[in-house]
Amino acid sequence: MPLPRSVVRLLPFFVLWMCVTVLLSLSLDARSAEKDEILAQVSALLVKKFDDKARAVALLVESGHPRTEEILRLIKDGELYYRKKDDRLFSIPLAETGAQATDLLDATAVVIEKTRDFKKVTLNNLMRGQIGLALAEIGLKSEDPKQREDAVRKLLGELSDESVAVLRKRIGAEPVSAVRELISIALAVNDLKNGDEAARLLAVERVEGSLEPPVRSALTQVAETDASPVVKQKAQLALNGIDEQIRWYGMVETLYFGISLGSVLVLAGIGLAITFGVMGVINMAHGELIMLGAYTTYVIQQLMPNHLGASILVAIPAAFMVSALVGVAIERGVIRFLYGRPLETLLATFGISLILQQAVRSVFSPLNRSVSTPEWMSGMVEINPVLSLTLSRLYIILFCLLVFVALVMVLKRTSLGLQVRAVSQNRAMARAMGVRSKWVDAMTFGLGSGVAGVAGVALSQLTNVGPNLGQAYIIDSFMVVVFGGVGNLWGTLVAGLSLGIANKVLEPWAGAVLAKILVLVFIILFIQKRPRGLFPQRGRAAEG
Amino acid sequence: MLIMNALKGDRGGQILLGVLLVLVIAVPLLNLMLPPDHLLHIPTYTVTLMGKYLTLALLAVAVDLVWGYLGILTLGHAAFFALGGYAMGMYLMRQIGDRGVYGNPDLPDFMVFLNWDALPWFWSGFDQFWFAALMILLVPGVLAFVFGALAFRSRVSGVYLSIITQALTYALMLAFFRNEMGFGGNNGLTDFKELLGFDLQSDVTRLGLFVASALALALGYLLCRVLMAGRLGRVCVAIRDAESRARFIGYRVENVKLGVFTVSAMLAGVAGALYVPQVGIINPGEFSPLNSIEVVVWVAVGGRATLYGAVVGALVINYAKSYFTAELPEVWLFALGGLFVLVTLLLPRGITGLLRRKEASA
C-alpha cells in the first residue's frame, strides 16, 4: 500500500527524532526512571486551558513534589514553554534563535532553531495569584527560619485575602519568634488596609517601629486618606517615628562607609607613618610598595586557583615579605646616602616609584588585573530592612584594626620597637648605648614597607590592580599622616578614620569628587593652622 | 645698566641669552627662506616643538627661582602653569566664535553639549586679549599669593610645604575634571582656530609663537637674574640656608618668600599661556602631580640655583622624552626614574655643576 506523499516526506524527520529520543532516553535511563507520574500528569495539563493549568498547579502543590517550587517559579517568570509538535515542556530563560531550551522532565538541552516552534505557558491573573501564594506557602513550610522569614516578607509586599488566610493559619504554628513577629506585622498591615476603625487603630500601634517598606507605604496611605481622624493622627505619629529611624540608620550606614573608607586610608597611610613619621624619610615610592603587595596577591591567586579563600591568607605574609624586601633594598641602595636631606630623598624615591611602575607595566602589562574576592568575604549582613552591611568592608575594617594593633605592639613591646623609638628620638645617644642604628634604619624601613604591602592585599579586594594603583593612594596617604601628626600612630588612625568619615558625609551633599576636593582644601588650611598635625610630637625632636 | 650688572659674571646666562638671540634670528630665516628639501631647512613642526621646549624651560626657571634660591621645594608649580594655560585656552575658545561644531557664536562647543544656555560669569571678558593676558598673570599670581600668605605666615616649610603644594595641584586637577566647573571637564579646551586674528595653523603664526616663547624665556630669565643678583637674592639664599637666623637678624622671611613665590607663579602662568597655543590643547592632565615633580627634576638635572641650569635641564630632558617616548616608550619611565635617583645621589649640582667644576679645575 503506497503511503501518502506528505507522510513519506516527514518520514526521515520522524526517524531522526525517534533516534534522538531513544538515544537520550538510553543515556538518561537512570534519571527518567525516577520521573513519577505526577510530573507527566501536570505537564499534560499545563499546555491546555487556564482551568486545566490551574488544576495542574493545584495538583503539583498538593503532591509536595520536590521540584514544585522550581516549576512554579518557571511558570511565574514566564520561562516555561512547550514545544508545539509534541507538547513537551521546556525551560527557556532566553527565547531567541540559537538559545538553549532545557527539557523539563529529562533535563536534555536542545538548541532553539525557530522561536515559533515553542509557545509560552501563559498565565492569567488568577493563576498568578495562585502560584505566588503557593510559592509563599512552600516557603513558609521550609525548614530554614531564614527562608520562612523571606516568604513572609514576600507576602507582606503583596497581601491578598488568600495570603492573609495562609498567614493566619501559620502564625500559631511558627516556632521562631522573629518570624512570628513579622507575620503579625503582615496581618496588621492587612488590618490597616481592610479592618474597621478599632482594628486599624490597633494595627497602627502594632506596626509602630517596623522598618519594612510595605509598612511604611501602608502607613503613609492611612495617614493621608483614612476616614477617622484619630487613626490618621496616630498613623502620622508612627510614620514620623519610622522616618526618624530610617534617617538614623541612614546615618549609621554613612558612618559605616566612612569608617571603611577611613580604614583603607589608615592602612595605606600607616606604613608611611612609620617611614615618614618615625624615620623622617619621605618615601614617594610608598604607593608603589602598596601596588607590589596587590600584585603579590594577584600572583598568589594565580598560583593557587583552586583555593581562593586560602590564597588571600597566604598573600598577607607574602606581600609583607615582598614589599619589605624591596623596601630594605631601597633603603640600603638609595635612601641611606640621603639622610638629613629630605627633599632629595623625596626626588630619589619618586624616581624609584617611576621605575617600579614601569617594571610592573613591563612584567604584567599595563592593563588592570582583577583579584577575585573569596567567598567568605563576599555578601552582606542584613541588620534590618533599611540597613545592610557589606561583608568585605567589615573585613577591611577589622583587618585595619588588626594591623594597627600589631604595629603598636611591635613598636611598644619588642626590642626592635624599643630600638626604633630610641633611634628616632636621639640617634647619637642610641648609638652610644650600643644600638646598631644602620640596622635599625633598614629594619624600620622594611617594616613600614611591609605594612604597605599588606595594605596592598586589602586594596586588591576593593579596586582593580594596576600599575597606577600606588599613585592613586600616595597623596591620600601623605594627607593622613600629615593631618594626624608625624611620628604618631594614633594620630594616623584618628586622622584616617575622620577623613574617611568626612568624605562620606560630604559625598551625598556634594558628590564624590567635590567631597574629595573639599577634604583636600580642608587639610591644606588645617596645616596652616597647625603645621604639625592633630597630635604633634612634643619635645626637642619636633623642632626639626 | 641694572641688567648689565646682573649679567656680569654670569657666563651661563650670557651664553643662554646669546643662543636665544641667535635662535630668534636664525630659526625664522631657516624656516622661511630655505626650500623644504634644503639640508638646513627647519620644518614648522620642529619650530613648534622648540617653542614648546622653551615654554617648559621658562617653567623650569620659575621653579628654580623658588627651589634653588629659596629652598621651597614646590610640587605644585604645574598648577600655575596650567592655570595660565587655561586662561589662554579660554581666550582661544572665545576666538572660535561660531566656527565650532554647533556653530553657537557665544558658547564653546562643550557648553552647548552640556545644554548650558549662557556663558558662566567667569568666562566673561575672555573675548578680549588684554583681559586674558591680565588673567594669565593674575590668576596664578593671586592663587600663589593667597596660598603662600597662608602657608608662609604659619611657617609651613620643608616637606610639609611640598606635600601641601602637591595636594593643591591634585585638588585642582580633580576640580577641573568636573564638567560642572565649566572648563571642558575631561577633554579640556581644544580645537583652537586663531590667536589675535592669526591662523594658528599657519607657519608664520607658529614662528611668531616661537619667537614670543624665546623672548619670554629671555625676559623671564633676566627678571629672575636681576632679582637674584641683588640684595634680595642674597637674602633669599640666607633664608634657604638658615631660615631661623635670617629671621632673627630681622628680615621679614614671610614677605620675601611670598613675593618671590608669587613672581614665580606668574612666570609659570606666562609659560603655560605660551605653551597652550603651540600644543593646541589644555586639559586637566596638566595639573597632575607627576608633571610638577618632573619640572623639579629638570631643575635638579640642570643644576639648582643657577637659572640657566634649569633651562639646560628642561631642554635636555624634554628632548630625551620626545625621543624615548617615540622610539622606546618602554624605556622612558625607567630612564626618567633612574635619572632622578642618579642625579640626586651623584650629581647634586646637576649637569651645569659638572661643567663648572671642570672649568674650575682646568
**Alpha carbons A381 and A383: distance in angstroms, whole number:** 6
Tell me the shortest Cα–Cα distance from A117 to chain B, in angstroms.
48
Per-residue pLDDT, A542 = 41
Give the alpha-carbon dihedral of A427, A430, A431, A433, to 10 degrees: 160
Q: Chain B residues with CB inside 8 Å of A343's CB? A: 73, 158-159, 162
What cell numbers appear for A154 in the block? Answer: 514576600
| Cβ separation B159–A527 shorter than 8 A | no
CB B290 within 8 A of CB B328: no
Give the alpha-carbon dihedral of A183, A188, A189, A192, to 10 degrees: 170
Q: Chain B residues with CB inside 8 Å of A471's CB? A: 290
Percentage of chain A modeled with pLDDT above 90: 13
A539, pLDDT greater than 60: no
Domain ranges of chain A: 1-30, 35-141, 157-248, 249-370+388-543
How large is the average pLDDT for residues A6-23? 59
CB A226 within 8 A of CB A256: no
Q: A155-209: per-residue pLDDT in tens?
A: 777 777 777 777 777 777 777 777 777 777 877 777 777 777 777 777 777 777 7
Is 0.90 surpassed by the pTM of this model? no
Contacts of B237 (CB under 8 A, 6+ apart): B69, B305
- Of the candidates A344, A351, A475, the beta carbon closest to that of B170 is on A475
| Cβ separation B166–A544 shorter than 8 A | no
Q: Chain A residues with CB inside 8 Å of B178's CB? A: 513-514
Per-residue pLDDT, B263 = 94
In a 13 Å sphere around the CA of B111, the CA atoms on its Cβ side amount to: 21
Domain ranges of chain B: 2-361
Per-residue pLDDT, A18 = 58
Q: Which of A208-217, A242-251, A321-330, B317-326 has the lowest mean pLDDT?
A: A208-217
- A273 Cα distance to chain centroid: 30
CB B60 within 8 A of CB B52: no
Tell me the shortest Cα–Cα distance from A351 to chain B, in angstroms.
4
Q: A132-161: per-residue pLDDT in tens?
A: 777 777 777 777 777 777 777 777 777 777
Q: Collapsing DSSP states into helix, strand and coil, what is residue A365?
A: coil
Length of chain A in terms of residues written: 544
How large is the average pLDDT for residues A276-283? 77
Q: A286-312: per-residue pLDDT in tens?
A: 999 999 999 999 999 888 888 877 888
**Alpha carbons B30 and B58: distance in angstroms, whole number:** 24
Q: How confident is the model at residue A69 (pLDDT cuts 50, 70, 90)?
A: confident
**Amino acid at site A503:** N
| Cβ separation A352–B340 shorter than 8 A | yes
Q: Give the other-Cβ count within 10 Å of A379's Cβ.
A: 12
Which of B66, B70, B74, B163 to substitute to test the interface with A, most A CBs within 10 Å? B163
Q: A399-410: per-residue pLDDT in tens?
A: 999 999 999 999
Q: Give the other-Cβ count within 10 Å of A285's Cβ.
A: 31
- Of the candidates A338, A346, A528, the beta carbon closest to that of B151 is on A528
CATH number of A249-370+388-543: 1.10.3470
Q: In angstroms, how far apart are the furthest CA atoms of chain B? A: 69
CB B225 within 8 A of CB B308: no
> For B297, which residue in chain A has the nearest alpha carbon?
A347
| Cβ separation A351–B164 shorter than 8 A | no
The strand pair at A89-91 and A100-103 is best described as antiparallel
CB B90 within 8 A of CB B132: yes
Per-residue pLDDT, A369 = 84
How large is the average pLDDT for residues A101-120? 78
Q: Chain B residues with CB inside 8 Å of A520's CB? A: 167-168, 170-171, 174
| Cβ separation B337–A354 shorter than 8 A | yes
**Amino acid at site B205:** T
Tell me the shortest Cα–Cα distance from A438 to chain B, in angstroms.
18
| Cβ separation B333–A355 shorter than 8 A | yes
Q: Dihedral of CA B296/B300/B301/B306: which sign? A: positive
Q: Chain A residues with CB inside 8 Å of B154's CB? A: 527-529, 531
Tell me the shortest Cα–Cα distance from A475 to chain B, in angstroms.
7
| Cβ separation A471–B290 shorter than 8 A | yes
User: Which residue did the predictor score with more confidence, A415 or B349?
Assistant: A415
What cell numbers appear for A246 in the block? Answer: 530610617
Per-residue pLDDT, A544 = 40
Q: How confident is the model at residue A1 (pLDDT cuts 50, 70, 90)?
A: very low
Q: Give the other-Cβ count within 10 Å of B12's Cβ.
A: 19
**Alpha carbons B185 and B179: distance in angstroms, whole number:** 4
Taking 50 as the pLDDT cut, the residues of chain B under it are: none
